Structure 1
Amino acid sequence: MSVPAQSAPDDRADPADEASDWRTLWVTTGAVASMFAIGAVAQSTYIFAAFVPGWQAVSVVSRVVVNALTVLVLIAVLALWRQPHRITRLGKMVGAVLAGLIAALARVALQVLLGVYPAFGPKTVVAEAVTGAMIGVGSAVLGTWVMMSRRRLRAEVRERVRTTHAVQTAVQALEDEEIRVRREVADGLHSSMQQRLVLVTARLDGALARLAAAGAPARDLATLREVRTEIENVREQDVRQMSRLLYPDQLEIGMVPAVRALLRRVPPAIATHLEVDEELRALDDPAAPELSQAERLLAVRVVEEAVSNALRHGTPTEVDVRLGVNRTGIALRVRDDGGGFDPATVTRSGTKRLAERLSIVGGRLDVKGVLGVGTEVVATLPVDALRGR
């Protein structure tokens, strides 16, 4: 997997990560080389000494000392040659090979200096050089590969974190913009549109008065009065309802007040109950709110959709709403005792859209309906204030 180019500066800029990478290289290389060195000593002591004539004269202690010093030389060479962070993988591997070869030559030189072999002939030199090169190069290459893998994994993790943060920032910006537009449109409907409709109604009242004084036909006057009544209904009901749909009442104060305002609009014949956990009250405290406007709006939308479906599709006598908090977010439950429905045969577009929106932010919405018994809507909504607690 390729590493994004912008990840490299982050790795290099962190001295702690850089030091940790080099420790990983040295420890891995030293551990692998030490295991090979121990194996070589054991091989010469217990195998070659039994089958190769004259091998008993080789000092075990001197071989242990030589191999231990060779491991230290290999680590020292790698420590002295601090590979530039931006060097290519091939360049790093070439450096590891050179370090292994230098350690192999040092091993042969130490064996000669310490007199490991009584007769150090050309064949012995070649054999020890090849063995040392295999051990040194293999250990250095493996250690370098582990270090590069560590860097690559860290860069990938940081890139994922950076991408996730960018996505979250973009989503938050879109949510903030959506709320701003919703509020502006709702305010426009509530103020400008209603004021204009009030003026239209007043002009109709004036026209009706003049027409009545002029002796206009009663049928025409009745039609105009019906038009006036229709305009008044649009102003008092439709415009207000559209304004609430765009931006619920009391949402500026908090989620709980907005849900209470929503339940107050339920017909009086239907009993409503609202239960709120104390922890959620603390999160939604108007004096120090920890819930964002987007989180409040989405939670209220879930309750609103569940209550609206209960009123439209059933004949409930009771609606229970519970607002709580779980480990990562808000837990909502709306239950009614209406006619219920069969989820296998009925699909509600509004609920489906809400479920999709919740899934985008990591939430979930489940609807359980039983014909003749009622419906239960359960939703979870992650909130920033609870993440990491």
Structure 2
Amino acid sequence: MLQRPQRGDPFWIWALHGWEALSWALIALVTLITLLGGTPPGRKLGLLALMAVLALCWALVRRRPGNPVLSPYGYLCVLVVVLGGVSCLGDGFGVFYTVTLAQFIVFADSPRGAVLLTGLGALAITVGGSLREGGRADVFLTNTISSLAVWAVAVVMAVLTPRALAQRDERAALRAELKSTQAELAEVYQRQGAAEERERLAREIHDTLAQGFASIIVLAEAARSQLALDADRSAQQLQSIEQTARENLAEARVLVGAAPSSGVAAGSVATTLRRTLDRFTEDTGLTVTAELADVECDQPTRIALLRCTQESLANIRRHAAASTVGVVLARQPDGVELEITDDGRGFVVEDSHGFGLDGMRRRLAEFGGGLTVTSSVGDGTRILATIPLSDRSQV
């Protein structure tokens, strides 16, 4: 039995069920007119009895589907018998076949069953009408032609209904697939966002807290080793440890959201880098030469240049064993360049897979920039960071 219409069903399915509901209104109307008209009492009682049986069977199947007493096909067989009976009772009652046509499609569970049973219905009203007229050949022929015409409509309905249902199911499957895909995409975007956020936090921690703690360790070791020999130098190093610890605390507050800004003091990029280089010189004693142009850029670009400088200086302190460091900040026609060189031991660039260089590349890539690393064993290292400056960056 065809299920009641659902949201998303094609119009054809709604119309079919509407037709079924309307059929009972028309059956009731025709029955009432017959009972109130001049039809002989015997025919009236026969029509009333047949309609009562049909209505009872319909209610039994429709209200209690799957009951063991009467199946949908059993109801359709009753409908065929009733159609034959009413056609035999009076002229014009064959209209019940057209009125109840939708019920054959609704209650049959296959196109073949609908075609077969509507054919039996057409045969029933043809035979019933012919019996009423005494088996006249002309009446039989007329009834056959009209019944075949209505049956042809039933065949079309029986063929179209499964197609409409298939389209409904296909659209439902597409909607379910689309919903599932949207959920999967949302989950992928969520995971990607979480991964990107973890990567950003890891980079920030590496460029700020990790570098600060590394400086604290180096300064603490130096202060301890020189405490008995050079108290003033040790005191200076302890002061640097205190200052670095305070800066780390400020950066930690920024990372956990307890501070509203980047933790980097305002000012030009040249001033910011100069303060960093002075601290580096003070902590390491290395010779640092700097050519810092007064480049105008926005805060995010300034922070990116500062982080690249801090990472490069941290690598020089830990790995290079250099004596001289050079830093050049220059404005180019298409952006800004930051070059950091040292005369240390150098390394094989292809063999370097540290987080620091990769972090710098990713940070610069966010601004459309790039990182070039040139080094070889015994020949020092050159770091070149480039960032294009848009109108937004030149503030």
Per the normalisation by structure 1, the TM-score is: 0.39
Per the normalisation by structure 2, the TM-score is: 0.39
The structure whose RCO (Cα within 8 Å, separation 6+) is larger is 1
Larger of the two Rg values belongs to structure: 2
